Homo-oligomer: A and B are copies of this chain.
């Protein structure tokens, strides 16, 4: 059941105004600021219809109306235009990314900061999620740290370094370790990360001399390297939320900040509806009680067929969706550029 053209326009006006002001909007405001050819009484009738249809709520009899979740859904699906990023925003984002930053562990933080600064919402950046299937071993090395402890380094073909501290026989000399890592490296090179434990197992059964060390390595690989999530998550700008009137209630604000401090809850918020470029979750669609008045906009960015990561914005349902989408798009593309093997 579709709305007629005019109802769309009015609904859009209401949403736009509410996003801007955060206070219920009345018929007179619409009539004066957005639909000057219509009187407030007409708007009033239309608004009454829109409320009937579930697009508007009224906090109380004489307070104007606010958009419902259903209205936001309609807004992002049909009403909202994809706008280009404002030049000022571009400028600001550039400034963040300007410093050279090749190092992978930094990128996420800088990107998150850029996002939260540009949008004034809270941002999340997750690098390299799921899809580890095809990560392969490029290099492996044992380095003595002190008598009895060795550091196992493993470099993947994505350029990530994984490490595990091992406790080994104190009698092993530095050269022993070196020899062992040469052999291991040769055997494991180009092996898929998830296959490493299996290959190591086979090695152990074949090769009797270095059993202890190998077991230690296997243990380290199992507990620290394969299991350890490759995904790094950075949340930035939580404090931004406190500027919005929807969180002038400290209780509410605290509950939300607590969610943002819990890694797996944030991860759950970012869960992505398949390969979509953008996912927008509104209010209850976020699936958590604590975020029932929040919206989450996420974008995944790819390189070829690999998913490189996810960027997301968390804010009140009354969110500047257009700007947020534009900023996410820009940052996503920038990240892909940065990750691109140079030249």
CB within 8 Å of B: which residues of A? 102-104, 138-139, 141, 143-149, 151, 153, 155, 157-159, 161, 163-165, 167, 224, 228, 236-239, 242-243, 247-248, 250, 253-254, 257-258, 260-261, 341-343
Contacts and interface: CB of A to CB of B under 8 A. Distances in A.
Given A143-B155, A161-B153, A164-B103, A242 B254 contact: yes
A149 B261 contact: no
B242 A253 contact: yes
Contacts of A239: 254, 257-258, 260-261
A155 B153 contact: yes
B159 A102 contact: no
B238 A261 contact: yes
B141 A141 contact: yes
Contacts of A254: 239, 242-243
Task: Please report whether the interface of chain A is mostly helix, strand, loop or mixed according to DSSP.
Answer: mixed
Total copies of the chain: 2
Contacts of A248: 250
Nearest to A245: B250
B253 A167 contact: no
A132 to B, nearest CB: 17
Q: Which 5 pairs between the two chains have the least Cβ-Cβ distance?
A: A239-B257, A242-B254, A139-B143, A145-B159, A239-B258
A164 B161 CA distance: 10
Contacts of A236: 261
Contact of A103 (B147, B163, B243): B163
B224 A103 contact: yes
A138 B149 contact: no
Q: Of residues A139, A260, A343, which shows the largest number of chain B Cβ atoms within 10 Å of its Cβ?
A: A139
